[in-house]
Structures are given as structure tokens and as C-alpha cells.
């Protein structure tokens, strides 16, 4: 915690130092975000560009390290009336914001400040995640991604596998061959990575995470992850873990799955497409790697995966001038040049149809190092969103993610039977949902 505070203080000072150069008499406003490391540096760069591009507003960008921290700190600040004008809230936190009554809808903000945004240009999957049921976008789509599967091409070739693994059966076979060939860690598995290993797995296989269409149908949804294919998937992961084919990697264990992959210690891993840029930078010299869509089980049809990442929420309580600044900032983010830069230096997908088309036409996706990123779009648009793949709209979803992460660890480390662990997690998750429902009595989803 102390480290986080120091770091964010340092970044604030850095941002201030960067931003105080241009003329005075500017309207200052804050933007809090939940990214760290390389992605945080990209955001600071972006804020610098915005500040230099105009003279009226000065954005101060503050990293809160993780999405969870940012949500907590934003709430604490909001309660103390010290909130930033703009905050970045992850996919899973969307409903927490929707019912909070603490925001200004982005559509209203842009209209009031005279910006004409083509709202129907946004990818439908992204737009529906952050919109009301009537289709009004509440927050500004910003960094959007989905989960992908990364693999070390050299290692796979060494055991005679060409191309990308498409099915979990193939992953299992490759992992066995790698182990036999002396690789210690065929697959890096993050036991806290519920987003890629649980949510996105469920979406790709069209499995419900919760009833009521993952909660879109109302606050009385109950979770259902303890009934479908995820139970078999976790059973399989446990088997692979016991055989040493999946190796647990996380911050607590001392090395993250991403680090293990870029250092070529682990040969396969699952992570966000957003890491594509970072992997390109960090992979050890000479390492050949590639990315593909999440593998499926043989005999299943692929459905579209969920939009991950985060969107930007404008909070109540700022001055009209600050709102003008926020609107100018959003408009700046939506410019084709800026959107393309953001997609290039990270791995986040362009959020508009026209943006994606422009980049495809330029041949962005046809050559290294960006080749492969178009697969994320392919994964997101594999089918039109179904009842269970348009998103997750559950209250306090962060707490539910923690329950699932705990269940995965209990299965792996403490040998708790899969069904028992998931049933317990489901029961606790439902208690969380009921409490959320009771906290907002009589309210319906917007």
C-alpha cells in the first residue's frame, strides 16, 4: 500500500512537472487510471500529448496501479468529495458505477459541450457492455481487449508442432511433449487469473456465468459457473497441474505468468491482447512467439469472447470548465490519429469500426510486429453476442472474481474436490449478489 501511494505520488509529481510547462490560466482536471508498468507509461505519454495539443486544459493523470485499487480509491475520494473528473473503471466494475448515481453519462457530456460523436461507430460488443438497455452509452469506451493464447513458436516447433494450437486437446499433447523434451513449464497458469481462465473460457464456449443472461436481465441473477463446462475445465486444469504441465505463476509466487512467458521459462500462457505490445518489447532476444485465439474443446463451436479492459467514467462534482476539459479529452482520444497510436503502442483493439477499417486498410495487421492482433477482433466478433457473451452485469463482481480465484487455488493447492470448491464459491457469490440487491432496493438496471 505504501509503495502504491509513493508510486502514485511520484507519477503525480512527474505529471505535474510535465504539464506545467505551457501557459497558465488553464483548467486543471484529474484522471485516475488502474494500469501500471509499461501501460502506465503509455498513458502518461498520451496525457502529455493532450496537454501539448491545446492550451485550455491541463489533465493530470494518476496511476492507481490496478483496476481494483482505482475503484476503491475513487469511491473513497468520492465519499470525501475529492474525486477526479475522469476515472477508469474495468469491465467488471460497470454495474457498480451504473447504480452509483455518481456519474455524468458520456453522451450527455459530449452533447452539452458541443461534440458530435458517431456513437453507432463503436463496436456493438463494446457499446452494449457500457450502455443502458435502451442503448445510451454511459461511459467512454477506452481500452478494450479480450483474452488470447500466447505460445513460444520455437518451443512448439522443437516438439514438432507447427502453427497455432486451436484446441485444448492440442495444448495437452504439446504440453506433454514439451515436458518429455525437458521443458519445466509447458503452460504458465495464473491461479488468480479468473478473467482469462474462467470468464473468457465460459464466453468462448457459450457457458453462462450467471442467470438472467449474466445479469443483464435484472439484479436477481444467480451465478451458474458451478454447473457448466467450467467444472470440467477446472478438473482438467487440476489434472494438468498435478502432472506438472500447468505451472502456477503469480505475483505472490514470485514470478507472474507474463514474466515467465517473456523470459521463455514457460512456453504457453493466456493473457490479454493488451499485452501484445509489452511482450514484443520484453521478450528475450531471439525468442519467437505468437498469439492465437483462446483454444476450444474439440466438438464445440466458438462464440464471441467478452470485451475486457475498461472505460472512462465522468464523475459528478466537477466544475463546468473541468467537464469541458473532460469532453475535449474524450474527443482527443477519439481522433483517428490518437486511437491508432494507442492501439499500436499497446495491443488494445481500436474501439470503432472505422478505426479498425482504417488500420486494416493501411496494412497494419498484415506484417510483424502487429500481425496477430486482428485475431482479437476475430475472437470478439466470432458470432453475434449471445445471451451469455455480451458481457457480465453483476453487482460487486470484483468480490465474485475473488471467490472464483480462491476456488481455483483451493483445487490446485489444497486438493479440494472441484465441484465442492465451485459450489462453495457459488454460494458465497450469490450471497454477495443478494447483498448488492438489498443495498439498492427497488432499483432496476438502467
Cell numbers for 209, please give them. Answer: 456465468
250, 271, 303, 314: which one binds another protein (CB under 8 A): 250
Handedness of CA 393, 248, 153, 169 (dihedral sign): negative
- The Cα-based distances of 37 to 1, 7, 42, 182, 282 in angstroms read 16, 11, 9, 32, 12
Contact between 444 and another protein by CB under 8 A: the answer reads no
Cell numbers for 111, please give them. Answer: 452533447
**Side-chain half-sphere exposure of 191, counting CA atoms within 13 A:** 23
Pairing of strands 140-145, 308-315: antiparallel
For the bound state, the minimum distance from the C-beta of residue 365 to another protein, rounded and expressed in Å, comes to: 38
Interface stretch with another protein, choices 266-274, 275-283, 384-392, 433-441 (CB under 8 A): 433-441
State the alpha helices, DSSP H only, in 20-134.
37-53, 67-79, 94-98, 106-112, 124-129
For the bound state, the minimum distance from the C-beta of residue 186 to another protein, rounded and expressed in Å, comes to: 18
Distance, in Å, from the CA atom of 43 to the CA atom of 311, rounded to the nearest integer, reads: 14
Quick one: 299 or 441, whose CB is closer to another protein?
441
- The Cα-based distances of 299 to 22, 166, 216, 381 in angstroms read 60, 12, 28, 20
For the bound state, the minimum distance from the C-beta of residue 423 to another protein, rounded and expressed in Å, comes to: 14
Cell numbers for 53, please give them. Answer: 495539443
Interface stretch with another protein, choices 32-40, 278-286, 342-350, 426-434 (CB under 8 A): 426-434
Quick one: 59 or 400, whose CB is closer to another protein?
400
Contact between 9 and another protein by CB under 8 A: the answer reads no
For the bound state, the minimum distance from the C-beta of residue 100 to another protein, rounded and expressed in Å, comes to: 4
Distance, in Å, from the CA atom of 351 to the CA atom of 296, rounded to the nearest integer, reads: 25
For the bound state, the minimum distance from the C-beta of residue 167 to another protein, rounded and expressed in Å, comes to: 29
Contact between 317 and another protein by CB under 8 A: the answer reads no
9, 16, 252, 288: which one binds another protein (CB under 8 A): 252
Contact between 413 and another protein by CB under 8 A: the answer reads yes
CA-nearest of 429, 29, 421 to 215 is: 429
Quick one: 280 or 317, whose CB is closer to another protein?
317
Distance, in Å, from the CA atom of 306 to the CA atom of 199, rounded to the nearest integer, reads: 8
Contact between 195 and another protein by CB under 8 A: the answer reads no
Total residues in contact with another protein, by rule CB under 8 A? 35
Interface stretch with another protein, choices 47-55, 71-79, 260-268, 322-330 (CB under 8 A): 71-79
Pairing of strands 185-189, 308-315: unpaired
Quick one: 182 or 254, whose CB is closer to another protein?
254
Contact between 182 and another protein by CB under 8 A: the answer reads no
Contact between 16 and another protein by CB under 8 A: the answer reads no
Interface pattern 137-176 for another protein (x via CB under 8 A):
----------------------------------------
Contact between 59 and another protein by CB under 8 A: the answer reads no
For the bound state, the minimum distance from the C-beta of residue 102 to another protein, rounded and expressed in Å, comes to: 5
Contact between 440 and another protein by CB under 8 A: the answer reads yes
- The Cα-based distances of 351 to 77, 125, 439 in angstroms read 29, 10, 33
For the bound state, the minimum distance from the C-beta of residue 207 to another protein, rounded and expressed in Å, comes to: 24
Handedness of CA 392, 393, 399, 400 (dihedral sign): negative
For the bound state, the minimum distance from the C-beta of residue 435 to another protein, rounded and expressed in Å, comes to: 6
Distance, in Å, from the CA atom of 165 to the CA atom of 267, rounded to the nearest integer, reads: 12
For the bound state, the minimum distance from the C-beta of residue 92 to another protein, rounded and expressed in Å, comes to: 12
Contact between 446 and another protein by CB under 8 A: the answer reads no
254, 286, 299, 363: which one binds another protein (CB under 8 A): 254
Handedness of CA 238, 243, 245, 251 (dihedral sign): positive
Contact between 414 and another protein by CB under 8 A: the answer reads yes
Handedness of CA 383, 188, 226, 129 (dihedral sign): negative
* Residue recorded with cell 477499417: 357
CA-nearest of 208, 252, 165 to 393 is: 208
Say if residue 147 is exposed, middle or buried (CB neighbours under 10 Å; 0-12, 13-18, 19+): buried
For the bound state, the minimum distance from the C-beta of residue 169 to another protein, rounded and expressed in Å, comes to: 28
CA-nearest of 142, 123, 108 to 446 is: 108
Touching another protein, residues 75-104 (CB under 8 A): 75-76, 78-79, 96, 100-102
170, 282, 360, 409: which one binds another protein (CB under 8 A): 409
For the bound state, the minimum distance from the C-beta of residue 428 to another protein, rounded and expressed in Å, comes to: 8
Helix (H, G, I), strand (E, B) or coil at 420: helix
Binding site for another protein (CB under 8 A): 1-2, 68, 72, 75-76, 78-79, 96, 100-102, 248, 250, 252-254, 396, 398-399, 402, 406, 409-410, 412-414, 428, 431-432, 435, 438-441
Amino acid at each position: 500500500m505504501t509503495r502504491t501511494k509513493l508510486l502514485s505520488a511520484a507519477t503525480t509529481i512527474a505529471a505535474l512537472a510535465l504539464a506545467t510547462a505551457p501557459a497558465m490560466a488553464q483548467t486543471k482536471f484529474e484522471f485516475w487510471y488502474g494500469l501500471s508498468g509499461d501501460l502506465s507509461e503509455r498513458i502518461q505519454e498520451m496525457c502529455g500529448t493532450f496537454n501539448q495539443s491545446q492550451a485550455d486544459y491541463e489533465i493530470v493523470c494518476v496511476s492507481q496501479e490496478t483496476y481494483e485499487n482505482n475503484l476503491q480509491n475513487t469511491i473513497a475520494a468520492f465519499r470525501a468529495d475529492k474525486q477526479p473528473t475522469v476515472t477508469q473503471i474495468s469491465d467488471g466494475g460497470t454495474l457498480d458505477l451504473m447504480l452509483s448515481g455518481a456519474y455524468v453519462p458520456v453522451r450527455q457530456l459530449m452533447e452539452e459541450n458541443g461534440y458530435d460523436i458517431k456513437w453507432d461507430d463503436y463496436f456493438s460488443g463494446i457499446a452494449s457492455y457500457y450502455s443502458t438497455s435502451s442503448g445510451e452509452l454511459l461511459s467512454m469506451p477506452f481500452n478494450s481487449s479480450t483474452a488470447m493464447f500466447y505460445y513460444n513458436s520455437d518451443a512448439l516447433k522443437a516438439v514438432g508442432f507447427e502453427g497455432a494450437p486451436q484446441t485444448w486437446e492440442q495444448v495437452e499433447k504439446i504440453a506433454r511433449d514439451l515436458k518429455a523434451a525437458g521443458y519445466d513449464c509447458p503452460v504458465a497458469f495464473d491461479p488468480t487469473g479468473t478473467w482469462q481462465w474462467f470468464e473468457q473460457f465460459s464466453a468462448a464456449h457459450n457457458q453462462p456465468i450467471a442467470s438472467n443472461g449474466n445479469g443483464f436481465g435484472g439484479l436477481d441473477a444467480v451465478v451458474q459457473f458451478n454447473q457448466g463446462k467450467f467444472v470440467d475445465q477446472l478438473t482438467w486444469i487440476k489434472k494438468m497441474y498435478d502432472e506438472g504441465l500447468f505451472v502456477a505463476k503469480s505475483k505472490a509466487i514470485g514470478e507472474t505468468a507474463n514474466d515467465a512467458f517473456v523470459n521463455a521459462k514457460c512456453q504457453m500462457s493466456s493473457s490479454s491482447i493488451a499485452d501484445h505490445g509489452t511482450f514484443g518489447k520484453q521478450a528475450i532476444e531471439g525468442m519467437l512467439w505468437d498469439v492465437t485465439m483462446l483454444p476450444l474443446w474439440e466438438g464445440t463451436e466458438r462464440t464471441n469472447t467478452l470485451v475486457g479492459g475498461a472505460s472512462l467514467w465522468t464523475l459528478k462534482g466537477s466544475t463546468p470548465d473541468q467537464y469541458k476539459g473532460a469532453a475535449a479529452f474524450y474527443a482527443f482520444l477519439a481522433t483517428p490519429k490518437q486511437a491508432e497510436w494507442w492501439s499500436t503502442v499497446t495491443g488494445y483493439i481500436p474501439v470503432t469500426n472505422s478505426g479498425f477499417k482504417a488500420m486494416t486498410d493501411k496494412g497494419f495487421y498484415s506484417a510483424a510486429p502487429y500481425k496477430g492482433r486482428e485475431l482479437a477482433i476475430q475472437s470478439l466478433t466470432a458470432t453475434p453476442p449471445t445471451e451469455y457473451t455480451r458481457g457480465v452485469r453483476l453487482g460487486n463482481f470484483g468480490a465474485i472474481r475473488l471467490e472464483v480465484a480462491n476456488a481455483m487455488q483451493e483445487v490446485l493447492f489444497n486438493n479440494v474436490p472441484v465441484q465442492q470448491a465451485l459450489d462453495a464459491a457459488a454460494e458465497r457469490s450469490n450471497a454477495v449478489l443478494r447483498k448488492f440487491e438489498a443495498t439498492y432496493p427497488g432499483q432496476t438496471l438502467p
